[in-house]
Amino acid sequence: MAIHNIIEAVNLALKEEMKRDDRVIVLGEDVGVNGGVFRATIGLLEEFGDNRVIDTPLSENGIVAGALGMAVNGLRPVAEIQFMGFVYYILNHIICHAARLRNRTRGRLTAPLVIRAPYGAGIRAPEHHSESTEALFTQIPGIKVVVPSTPKDTKGLLTSAIRDPDTVIFLEPKRIYRAIKEDIPEEEYTIPLGKAKMVKEGKDITVICWGAMVRVVETVSEEAEKENIDIEIIDLRTLSPLDKDTIITSVEKTGRALVVHEAPKTCGLGAEIVALINEKALLSLNAPVLRVTGQDITVPLAKGEDYYIPSVDRILQGLKKIINF
């Protein structure tokens, strides 16, 4: 065991998989010589060479088009997009090709491709460096969407993503890239995609969250305990496919639910989760399901970020509204 943060966990997973499988290729802007914009790929060029760690031109469209071609022809590329705000150039490749290839060829071809992208606000960056538009990708059949919240989960989930036979969008909450450190097994391990994690068991209310919001909700739980509110925390980890069973089982036990996410409220993934609970566990509810989310605006500049991101106080207010219903 060794202590690592999320960035280091990404690096470890990439390094281990590149050693294990020479089909794994890393490509993107500055991933080689500079080690990536956040240094997630540092040292890989020196160890594996420029045939497997490829510095690309500044073209997200070209990065993913090239990676898709590699995947179809038997490689397992991991493409880095520097910020989530730059993913819109690649939507055609994902929606029209990567996501449909298995169905289009009746299973003869697949696209084992991972697209990594830092996402979310909290580092005082411009708006197109701070977006949380993960719900866009959960609307696309044929791909998986994964968001880790801890270093240990990051390594295990990224390893599983690289080994997956289909395209995986791997979104990394950059706000906590270096904020959390924990022991990570040095040996190889995987964490199944599509399986949520029970972060904390509780009896009064279920809080469903992912990414950087998990850490905030854990702080909320500590504050709520002072008022005798016992929270059950679910970290989704995989947003698509959604672990519906874990959500419903928890809500049937607690009778209350709150969804917390950084993305805007309107048409966010929280709305889908609320609909799921209403469809599957309505008669178990003691209060309406609520959401505490980012605002329905463009991510503001530095001085406004703290008003945009769900805070401990805002989440506590939502909890109390449900508990006191």
Angstrom distance (rounded) from CA 220 to CA 202:
13
* Three-state SS at 257: strand
Q: How confident is the model at residue 144 (pLDDT cuts 50, 70, 90)?
A: very high
Active site residue 93: no
Burial 191-210 (b: 16+ CB within 10 A, else e): bebbebbebeebebbbbbbb
Q: What is the CATH number of domain 2-184?
A: 3.40.50.970
pLDDT score, position 257: 98
pLDDT at 127 over 90: no
pLDDT score, position 123: 86
pLDDT score, position 192: 98
Residue among 235, 180, 136 nearest 115 (CA): 136
Residues carrying CATH 3.40.50.920, the chain: 197-323
Which CATH number is 197-323's, of 2.40.30.10, 3.40.50.920, 1.20.1600.10, 3.30.70.20?
3.40.50.920
By the 10 Å C-beta count (0-12 exposed, 13-18 middle, 19+ buried), 227 is classed as exposed
Angstrom distance (rounded) from CA 113 to CA 127:
27
Residues carrying CATH 3.40.50.970, the chain: 2-184
- Which of these is catalytic: 4, 97, 129, 261? 129
pLDDT at 45 over 80: yes
Q: How confident is the model at residue 126 (pLDDT cuts 50, 70, 90)?
A: confident
Structure token pair of residue 260: 């917390």
Sign of CA dihedral 182, 187, 188, 192: negative
Please compute Rg for the chain using Cα positions: 20
Q: How confident is the model at residue 301 (pLDDT cuts 50, 70, 90)?
A: confident
Alpha helix segments (H runs only) across the chain: 6-20, 44-48, 60-72, 91-93, 101-104, 134-138, 151-163, 213-225, 244-254, 269-281, 305-308, 312-323
Mean pLDDT (the chain, rounded)? 96
pLDDT at 73 over 90: yes
CA distances from 118 to 70, 90, 110, 148, 307 (A): 23, 15, 25, 11, 21
Region 178-193 average pLDDT: 95
Q: What is the pTM of this model?
A: 0.97
Say what percent of the chain tops pLDDT 70: 100
pLDDT score, position 7: 97
